[in-house]
């Protein structure tokens, strides 16, 4: 029997009277590339925030690596092996690119030397080696996204939560990121993607869950999802969920 | 040139300075003030400049050191070093309590809460008997293993030592995991947390180090001046002055606070001692008896705070990263 | 020592009523600060010094122009508004998107300039504004006496608060200001000139602070550092009421006034400030959004 690495179990999240996420359940297996899609306001980022420890869930359980992680702080979640990126990139602006990635590396080592090594390695992986000494704040958006990726990879996560990592990137940049992701999966990590770009999603995901207005609309393999009439309707008709 | 070398050189120069300048008590007194403010701001800078948490109530730790030391000496017959250690303990307790309250808060709330805590400490010291109330505490007799505590020199070197330690700690931290983590916290707390940084732990770590150093300075001050009251060691103005010194020199840089102190303390001294006014009169630019002359004589001495205010406004508007910030690359 | 229950009830009511009256003036200062915070997201550390300037304005209006302090509000309010408006345009405006700490430091700097200019100009000798009714009191049932100046201040405060409410809810500009204080980005998207709203808010905040100062001038020592005592109290009121909530600041002001009065009566006047600050910390700890707060700044 295959153990699920991540199990979302009837998770609900309310903000006062506003229901952001309602009774969502799904499971992610090891080494899967998992897609979480849906129109704007569907609750994807909220769900990510709950999973990664930034929001407490209103009800339900989140089980990662056989542990219930609902009550954990974000840094504790990271130490369990789950790392996330941000939809609106958060470069540590006045630190250099290398220093940014070192911050990630420090979660698995205490020595500055070692952190530097790991950081250089990740910069090489994503192709940012030439920018190592540049202030992170000075990078273009595409490079900042790569930096976010390098930074979380330095934490050597079992699972990566990527929030619209391809957002704002052109075709070439998107392809590069997708190649890096495939490489990361090949090395043993599991990836959960929030993504808007349907082409990227269908190109790389093994399995997709579709959210709409906080509820699970559909789930299945990419080919099934793209042909699902409810999903198509949600994207074409439901774009006004601000 | 490595920073450690620079610290060593400057410390060396400062160490021989009193011997070279003929030990004029006035000059040494001013230098003590400069060193003390430089050390205070450097200590504050660990939390404020590197971790990005601006404590507006740092006087609480200065006062804690000062009051605890004098109380231990006069009531319990401790020697000054013992009093200093006791001061550190008290300051750390206050720091832990403060940290547990304010570090959950962000933005405006944090600064305001730090002031509230400091004011509670001040008002408590003002109202309790054992802290001398409004009269403060006067130290009559103090000795330490044969060191002549009537001379200014021990305090000069004491302040210098704390400054060097403060700079040393800052330097060490900067290239260590703690330093990196604090800077990450300063840049973006959410990102920091998502990368495995226990925000509360590291903020408190920075605060404790900062509070301990500040407390030691308070202890030194108390035994140096032999008299303290709440307006001297627990006032909001002191907290603000510490921050201004760091800002003007350059927050988050190693030498910024020291630079700020070297500029501001002598400036305040010059204004306070009416050197400018007297010079103007002496050179006949302003007549002693004229309205302007009398105005200068009476008021320029009080003007140093006004000048501080003007400098602050100009600094925030035009030089927010301080003087050293102009040269600063990323760190 | 037996105090008759009647006497202790009267004692309590006296304390309560004095507190409410003083609280009214505090509320005015708090509302000014809350408005600035709501519209501009700035903690104005010069607020206390603006109150101090109001005190001096009332003093000079009285001693030089022989105008009663309450009547001099007619002059003080527009002057203070203009002063605040100019301050915003020249200084505050520039740092509106700067980090919080720098904003606070700028306002601290401005405050230092104000209080120390006052020190240079007016010396540190406390001035006393004594009107013919400064020490009069009105006696109401059961031996409770209410100070006339406090009573007048309270009435005027209610009046001003009422006018402010009408302004914010019935006039176009007022509604725009209100909208901006609730959500600056949304207001901007709706086409409201938020820069103008900021200047307006700061002008109003200053006017309210100065008014509060003028109202208490007959009952306090007037000196250049007088504003500092009120600064933290004003912040406590704002945080208690909910940063950005005008109603909250009003309610908060009265609560703090009562708390202070009660602490003074039943504990000692030395500790009343400590009680206020402890309340401040409790609010921050347990309900940082205050009573009526809208912004969740965690």
pLDDT at A240: 42
Give residue B209's pLDDT band: very low, low, confident or very high (50, 70, 90).
very high
- Percentage of chain A modeled with pLDDT above 70: 96
Touching subunits for chain A (3+ Cβ pairs under 8 A): B
Nearest to B328 by CA among C109, A96, C106, A99: A96
Considering only the beta carbons, identify the residue of A74, A94, A110 that sits closest to B194: A74
Helix (H, G, I), strand (E, B) or coil at B147: strand
Does B313 sit within 8 Å of C281, measured CB to CB?
Answer: no
The full set of domain ranges for chain C reads 16-113+148-226
pLDDT at C130: 81
Touching subunits for chain C (3+ Cβ pairs under 8 A): B
Please state, in angstroms and rounded to a whole number, the distance separating the CA atoms of residues C216 and C124: 18
CB pairs under 8 A between B and C: 120
Average pLDDT, chain B: 87
Assess contact for A207 and A219: CB atoms under 8 A. Answer: yes
Please state, in angstroms and rounded to a whole number, the distance separating the CA atoms of residues B299 and B301: 5
Chosen for mutation from A92, A99, A154, A161 (greatest number of chain B CBs closer than 10 Å) is: A92
Give the pair of three-digit tokens for residue A35.
């897609």
Highest mean pLDDT (candidates A34-48, B39-53, B110-124):
B39-53
Query: How many CB atoms within 10 Å of residue A25?
Result: 14
Considering only the beta carbons, identify the residue of B116, B123, B309 that sits closest to C116: B309
Higher pLDDT, C259 or A241: C259
Which residues on B lie below 8 Å from C271 (Cβ)? 123, 127
| B115 touches C at CB < 8 Å | yes
- Is residue C163 predicted with pLDDT exceeding 70? yes
Q: Give residues with Cβ within 8 angstroms of C90, minimum separation 6.
A: none
Does C298 sit within 8 Å of B106, measured CB to CB?
Answer: yes
| A158 touches B at CB < 8 Å | no
* B294 CA: distance to closest CA in chain C (Å): 13
Could you say which DSSP state residue C126 is in? P
Say how many residues make up chain C: 298
Considering only the beta carbons, identify the residue of A96, A99, A107 that sits closest to B196: A107
Assess contact for B64 and B122: CB atoms under 8 A. Answer: no
What mean pLDDT comes out for the span B151-164?
91
Q: Quick one: which H or E segment has residue C144?
A: strand C144-147
Does B302 sit within 8 Å of C119, measured CB to CB?
Answer: yes
Please state, in angstroms and rounded to a whole number, the distance separating the CA atoms of residues C29 and C210: 8
pLDDT at A237: 58
- Is residue C31 predicted with pLDDT exceeding 60? yes
Which residues on A lie below 8 Å from B196 (Cβ)? 75, 78-79, 104, 106-107, 155
> Phi/psi zone of residue C14: left (φ > 0), alpha (ψ -120 to 50 degrees), beta?
alpha
- Is residue A180 predicted with pLDDT exceeding 60? yes
Which residues on A lie below 8 Å from B178 (Cβ)? none
Find residues 100-119 of chain A whose CB sits inside 8 Å of chain B. Answer: 102-104, 106-107, 110-112, 115
| C71 touches B at CB < 8 Å | no
| B251 touches A at CB < 8 Å | no
Does B316 sit within 8 Å of C106, measured CB to CB?
Answer: yes
CB pairs under 8 A between A and B: 81
Which residues on B lie below 8 Å from A96 (Cβ)? 330
Average pLDDT, chain C: 87
Higher pLDDT, B142 or B15: B15
Which residues on A lie below 8 Å from B181 (Cβ)? 103, 106
Query: How many CB atoms within 10 Å of residue B317?
Result: 16
* C270 CA: distance to closest CA in chain B (Å): 7
Assess contact for C201 and B85: CB atoms under 8 A. Answer: no
Find residues 137-196 of chain C whose CB sits inside 8 Å of chain B. Answer: none
Find residues 163-222 of chain B whose CB sits inside 8 Å of chain A. Answer: 175-177, 180-181, 183-184, 187-188, 190-199
Assess contact for B105 and B93: CB atoms under 8 A. Answer: no
Which residues on B lie below 8 Å from A76 (Cβ)? 198
Higher pLDDT, B301 or A65: A65
pLDDT at A43: 86
| C108 touches B at CB < 8 Å | yes
pTM of the predicted structure, to 2 decimals: 0.89
* C289 CA: distance to closest CA in chain B (Å): 10
- Percentage of chain C modeled with pLDDT above 90: 29
Lowest mean pLDDT among A3-7, A75-79, B132-136, B143-147: B143-147
- Is residue B300 predicted with pLDDT exceeding 70? no
Does B312 sit within 8 Å of C105, measured CB to CB?
Answer: yes
Query: How many CB atoms within 10 Å of residue C65?
Result: 9
Which residues on B lie below 8 Å from C278 (Cβ)? 120
Does A75 sit within 8 Å of B199, measured CB to CB?
Answer: yes
| B242 touches C at CB < 8 Å | no
Does A106 sit within 8 Å of B180, measured CB to CB?
Answer: yes
| B276 touches C at CB < 8 Å | no
Crossing angle of helices B107-127 and C100-122, in 10° steps, is 50
CA dihedral C225, C229, C232, C234 (to 10 degrees): -100
Say how many residues make up chain A: 242
Which residues on C lie below 8 Å from B113 (Cβ)? 280-281, 284
Lowest mean pLDDT among A102-111, B157-166, C113-122, C286-295: C286-295
Chosen for mutation from B101, B306, B316, B317 (greatest number of chain C CBs closer than 10 Å) is: B316
Please list the alpha-helical segments (H only) found in chain C.
Answer: 5-40, 47-65, 73-90, 100-122, 148-170, 172-182, 184-189, 194-216, 226-241, 246-266, 272-286
Does B120 sit within 8 Å of C274, measured CB to CB?
Answer: yes
A128-140 pLDDT tens trace: 999 999 999 999 9
Considering only the beta carbons, identify the residue of A75, A135, A152 that sits closest to B330: A135
Does B196 sit within 8 Å of A106, measured CB to CB?
Answer: yes
Does A92 sit within 8 Å of B187, measured CB to CB?
Answer: yes
- Is residue B331 predicted with pLDDT exceeding 50? no
* C84 CA: distance to closest CA in chain B (Å): 16
Find residues 38-77 of chain A whose CB sits inside 8 Å of chain B. Answer: 52-54, 73-76
Does B181 sit within 8 Å of A103, measured CB to CB?
Answer: yes
Touching subunits for chain B (3+ Cβ pairs under 8 A): A, C
Please state, in angstroms and rounded to a whole number, the distance separating the CA atoms of residues A195 and A200: 8
* A185 CA: distance to closest CA in chain B (Å): 20
Three-class DSSP labels, chain A: CCCEEEEEEEEEEEECCEEEEEEEEEEEECCCEEEEECCCCCCHHHHHHHHCCCCCCCEEEEEECCEECCCCCHHHHHHHCEEECCCCCCCCCCCEHHHHHHHHHCCCCCCHHHHHHHHHHHHHHHCCHHHCCCEHHHCCHHHHHHHHHHHHHCCCCCEEEEECCCCCCCHHHHHHHHHHHHHHHHCCCEEEEECCCHHHHHHHCCEEEEEECCEEEEEECHHHHHHCHHHHHHHHHCCCCC
| B106 touches A at CB < 8 Å | no
Give residue C296's pLDDT band: very low, low, confident or very high (50, 70, 90).
very low
Helix (H, G, I), strand (E, B) or coil at B306: helix
Which residues on A lie below 8 Å from B191 (Cβ)? 86, 90, 92
Nearest to C203 by CA among C67, C66, C16, C40: C40
Q: Which residue of B has its CA nearest to C119?
A: B302
Assess contact for B302 and C119: CB atoms under 8 A. Answer: yes
Q: How far is CA A165 from the centre of its chain?
A: 7
Please list the alpha-helical segments (H only) found in B197-274.
Answer: 199-225, 230-233, 236-249, 256-272
Chosen for mutation from B50, B179, B194, B253 (greatest number of chain A CBs closer than 10 Å) is: B194
What is the distance between the terminal CA atoms of chain C, rounded to a whole angstrom? 49
Q: What is the ipTM of this complex?
A: 0.90
Give the pair of three-digit tokens for residue B30.
């001013």
Lowest mean pLDDT among A223-227, B304-308, C133-137: C133-137
What mean pLDDT comes out for the span C222-228?
87
Give residue A242's pLDDT band: very low, low, confident or very high (50, 70, 90).
very low
B217-258 pLDDT tens trace: 999 999 999 999 988 899 888 999 999 999 999 998 999 999
Does B330 sit within 8 Å of A95, measured CB to CB?
Answer: yes
pLDDT at B33: 94
What mean pLDDT comes out for the span A202-216?
89
Crossing angle of helices C73-90 and C47-65, in 10° steps, is 140
């Amino acid at each position: 029997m295959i153990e699920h690495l991540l199990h979302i179990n009837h998770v609900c999240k309310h903000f006062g009277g506003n229901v952001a996420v309602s009774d969502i359940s799904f499971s992610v297996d090891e080494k899967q590339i998992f897609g979480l899609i849906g129109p704007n306001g569907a609750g994807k980022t909220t769900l990510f925030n709950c999973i990664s420890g930034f929001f407490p869930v209103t009800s339900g359980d989140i089980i990662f690596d056989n542990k219930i992680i609902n009550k954990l702080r974000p840094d504790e979640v990271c130490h369990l092996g789950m790392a996330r990126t941000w939809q609106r990139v958060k470069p540590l602006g006045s630190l250099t690119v290398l220093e940014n990635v070192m911050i990630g590396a420090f979660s698995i080592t205490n020595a500055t030397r070692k952190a530097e090594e790991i950081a250089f390695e990740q910069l090489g992986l994503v192709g940012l080696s030439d920018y190592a000494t540049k202030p992170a704040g000075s990078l273009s958006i595409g490079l900042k996204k790569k930096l976010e990726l390098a930074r979380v990879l330095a934490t050597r996560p079992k699972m990566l939560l990527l929030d619209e990592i391809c957002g704002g990137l052109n075709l070439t940049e998107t392809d590069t990121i997708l190649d890096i992701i495939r490489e990361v999966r090949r090395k043993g990590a599991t990836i959960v993607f929030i993504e808007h770009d349907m082409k990227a999603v269908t190109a790389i995901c093994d399995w997709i869950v579709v959210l709409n207005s906080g509820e699970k609309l559909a789930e299945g393999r990419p080919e099934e999802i793209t042909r699902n009439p409810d999903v198509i309707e949600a994207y074409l008709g439901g774009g006004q969920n601000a | 040139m490595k920073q450690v070398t620079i610290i060593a050189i400057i410390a060396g120069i400062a160490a021989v300075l009193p011997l070279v300048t003929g030990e004029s008590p006035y000059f040494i007194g001013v230098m003590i003030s400069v060193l003390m403010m430089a050390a205070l701001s450097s200590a504050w800078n660990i939390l404020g400049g590197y971790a990005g948490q601006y404590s507006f109530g740092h006087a609480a730790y200065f006062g804690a050191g000062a009051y605890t030391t004098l109380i231990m000496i006069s009531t319990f017959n401790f020697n000054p070093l013992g009093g200093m250690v006791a001061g550190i303990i008290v300051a750390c307790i206050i720091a832990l309590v403060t940290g547990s309250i304010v570090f959950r808060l962000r933005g405006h709330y944090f600064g305001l809460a730090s002031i509230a805590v400091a004011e509670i400490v001040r008002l408590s010291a003002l109202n309790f008997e054992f802290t001398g109330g409004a009269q403060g505490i006067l130290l009559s007799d103090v000795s330490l293993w044969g060191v002549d505590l009537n001379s200014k020199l021990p305090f000069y070197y004491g302040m210098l030592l704390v400054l060097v330690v403060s700079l040393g700690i800052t330097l060490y931290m900067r290239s260590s995991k703690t330093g990196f983590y604090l800077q990450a916290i300063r840049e973006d707390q959410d990102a920091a947390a998502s990368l495995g940084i226990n925000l509360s732990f590291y903020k408190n770590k920075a605060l404790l180090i900062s509070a301990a150093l500040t407390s030691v300075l308070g202890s030194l001050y108390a035994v140096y001046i032999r008299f303290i009251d709440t307006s001297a060691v627990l006032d909001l103005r002191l907290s603000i002055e510490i921050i201004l010194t760091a800002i003007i020199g350059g927050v988050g840089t190693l030498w910024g606070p020291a630079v700020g102190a070297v500029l501001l303390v002598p400036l305040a001294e010059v204004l306070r001692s009416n050197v400018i006014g007297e010079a103007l009169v002496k050179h006949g630019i302003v007549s002693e008896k004229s309205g302007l002359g009398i105005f200068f004589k009476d008021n320029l001495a009080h003007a140093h705070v006004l000048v501080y205010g003007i400098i602050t406004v100009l600094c925030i508007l035009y030089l927010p990263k301080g003087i050293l910030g102009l040269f600063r690359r990323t760190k | 020592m037996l105090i008759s229950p009647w006497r202790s009830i009267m004692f309590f009511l006296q304390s309560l009523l004095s507190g409410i009256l003083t609280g009214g003036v505090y509320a005015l200062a708090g509302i000014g600060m809350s408005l600035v915070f709501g519209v501009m997201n700035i903690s104005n550390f010069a607020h206390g010094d603006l109150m101090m300037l109001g005190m001096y304005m009332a003093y000079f209006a009285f001693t030089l122009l022989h105008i009663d302090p309450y009547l001099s509000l007619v002059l003080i309010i527009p002057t203070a508004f203009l002063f605040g408006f100019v301050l915003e345009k020249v200084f505050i405006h520039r740092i509106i998107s700067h980090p919080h700490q720098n904003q606070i430091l700028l306002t601290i700097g401005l405050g230092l300039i104000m209080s120390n200019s006052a020190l240079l100009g007016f010396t540190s000798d406390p001035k006393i504004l004594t009107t013919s009714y400064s020490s009069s009191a009105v006696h109401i049932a059961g031996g409770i006496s209410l100070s006339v100046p406090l009573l007048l201040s309270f009435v005027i405060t209610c009046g001003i608060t009422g006018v402010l409410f009408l302004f914010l809810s019935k006039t176009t500009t007022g509604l725009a200001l209100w909208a901006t204080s609730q959500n600056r980005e949304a207001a901007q998207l709706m086409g409201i000139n938020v820069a103008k709203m900021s200047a307006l808010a700061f002008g109003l905040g200053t006017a309210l602070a100065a008014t509060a100062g003028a109202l208490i001038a007959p009952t306090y020592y007037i000196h250049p550092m007088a504003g500092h005592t009120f600064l933290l109290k004003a912040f406590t009121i704002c945080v208690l009421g909910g940063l950005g909530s005008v109603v909250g600041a009003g309610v908060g002001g009265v609560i703090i006034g009562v708390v202070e009065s009660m602490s003074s009566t039943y504990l000692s006047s030395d500790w009343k400030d400590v009680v206020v600050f402890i309340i401040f910390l409790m609010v921050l700890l347990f309900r940082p959004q205050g009573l009526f707060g809208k912004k969740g700044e965690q």
